[in-house]
Amino acid sequence: MRADFRVVLDACVLANYGVANLLLLLAEKPRLYLPAWSDEILAETRRTQIDQLGWEARLADSFQSELCRAFPEGLVNGYEHVVGQCSNDEKDRHVLACAIHCNSELILTFNLRHFPEDALAPWGVSAFHPQDYLITLFDLEPLQVMHQLGAIAQKRGCTIEDHLIDLGKFLPQFSSRLLDELNS
């Protein structure tokens, strides 16, 4: 399956390595969606990784380099003129502006309160928690989602069940749903 549905990944999603890793693997060919972000989102991701998560600067820089190498079409530029027209949380107006500019109908974020529906609706944009989008992707392409989860688990040297339990800290409904599928 090849999908050109653009989805803006907020910094809080990109900074969460476990969640970002799965989402980005699902965006590789044969991709289920096309990820998008801006330089401002990437800068916020780097600050979060270093200042809040304790990543070394070289590791955060390597993560960003790999993002840009793997998804050169993911970088959105020229959205700044739209920021002033956005009415969502001031700190995240740049994220909505990025989505508007690249014609994305979806923002993935853990900070749903920063993206109230009344601020998004005029632009035809929705904000989803990453687990809700991952459940949707699983419903559409269960084998591909399970394959990528298995690849991550193998690389980590654990079972897919253990990996899903770890993901459950951030994606409880997704993790529970897939654990149920595995056990049925």
pLDDT tens string 107-159: 999 999 999 999 999 999 999 999 999 999 999 999 999 999 999 999 999 99
Q: Which pLDDT does position 103 carry in this prediction?
A: 96
pLDDT tens string 40-75: 999 999 999 999 999 999 999 999 999 999 999 999
Q: Which pLDDT does position 184 carry in this prediction?
A: 82
CATH of span 6-25+33-128: 3.40.50.1010
Q: Is the pLDDT of residue 1 over 50?
A: no
Give the domain ranges of the chain: 6-25+33-128, 134-183
Predicted model pTM: 0.94
51-78 b/e with 16+ CB inside 10 Å = b?
eeeebeeeebeebbeebeeebeebbbee
